[in-house]
Amino acid sequence: MPLPLKGYLPLSNLAQPSCSSSSSPQPSRLSTSLSLSRPPILPALSIAVSATLCILLGFLCGLQSQTPTTAAPSTSNTQWCVHPPTRREWRSLSALEREDYISAVKCLKTRSSRVGQPHSLYDDFPWVHTFVGDNTHDTAAFLPWHRYFIRIYERALQEQCGYNGHLPYWDWTLDWLSIPSSPVFAPSSFGSTGNTTPPTPLTVNFGSCVTDGPFAGLPLLYYREAYTPHCLSRGFLPPDLIASICTPNLRPEVMSDVARQGDFWAFSQALEEGPHIGIPCVIRGDFANMTAPNDPLWWLHHAQLDRLWWQWQHVYPEDRLSQYLGPAIEDRTQNVSLFDVLVFGGLAPDVAVREIMDAETGVLCYRY
Ligand SMILES: [Cu+2]
């Protein structure tokens, strides 16, 4: 069911949606920060003012559109970025660095929700991806929304779980001939495919419970749009089907074709419709649906996609660091603007797209 949330000014947050099916606690679909901390009339006024200010003040747009939360993260659009750190490929991390990263990820399960749900900060991410970010897919907002979403995750690891490193990425172009053989699936990394013996009833989406590695048996709460407690599930497709269905999205010539695209929307579409879906196609289980941030490996996949955008931008930085084209979220016949605001449901302050274009500045402050 499509979400009524817009990807920029969250006017439709004012509508009280109904929740579908399933047992409690249900995700109250649009319980964003607006409904958490303000009386009912004020958001409309505040958003109208924000919208006006966004148009008038441009660079303040991200600030004006922020929606206070009960536990606002420290993200600030006014911060300086002096020396953006470099995100690294997973296999270039030392064993100790990998352990630190994995411990921080597990720590998120022990921290409180920022979106007012009866679950952990870890669960906020698949929840927000599904109930807030769903409609950014297949629009121009796909890349900037996900760029900030993974940055919010990185900051949560750093600020709430004491992680001293940066978000790693998984360069699956190194593994395209056999994705299941990638070192990211080693027991010392993210564990492998699900274990079919014995079969478990708590699995999802053609997967089985992952029983090796640090995330073996990881308890998860959501599957698609329903509260569905289950174990971290994966179910690698058989090799012949991987070769015929998934690998065509990951081949070197496909990657070259993506990189060759001349404008932002063509690039974004080539990436989203190609390599972006090639990986979940192999892994299935949690990874291959809207609650995919359940799988701790998903973040490294999206860091790689973000890295490819970063690389594409830096071929012609004077043009591409501000090039933003394509269909808007609410009305796909409309074009987008750098002043559009991306919403995160209270997980972090909402932010204007223009704040997200250059990864080496402001609230982002990283490079590859
Ligand atoms: Cu997504």
**Residue 215: CB partners within 8 Å, gap ≥ 6?**
102, 106, 190, 191, 232, 296
Query: What pLDDT is attached to residue 205?
Result: 87
How far is ligand 1, taken at its centre, from the CA of residue 47, in Å? 25
How far is ligand 1, taken at its centre, from the CA of residue 134, in Å? 7
Query: pLDDT exceeding 90 applies to what percent of the chain?
Result: 73
Contact call for residues 64 and 350 (beta carbons, < 8 A): no
The pLDDT tens digits of the residues spanning 23-38 come to: 333 333 333 332 222 2
How far is ligand 1, taken at its centre, from the CA of residue 142, in Å? 7
The pLDDT tens digits of the residues spanning 289-327 come to: 999 999 999 999 999 999 999 999 999 999 999 999 999
Helix (H, G, I), strand (E, B) or coil at 71: coil
Contact call for residues 208 and 226 (beta carbons, < 8 A): no
The pLDDT tens digits of the residues spanning 201-243 come to: 778 888 999 999 999 999 999 999 999 999 999 999 999 999 9
Domains and CATH numbers, the chain: 11-356 (1.10.1280.10)
How far is ligand 1, taken at its centre, from the CA of residue 242, in Å? 21
How far is ligand 1, taken at its centre, from the CA of residue 297, in Å? 13
Query: What pLDDT is attached to residue 22?
Result: 33
pLDDT value at 172 more than 90: yes
User: What six digits make up the tokens of 368?
Assistant: 């590859």
Query: What pLDDT is attached to residue 79?
Result: 62
Q: Hunting for tokens 């998903």 — which residue is that? A: 298
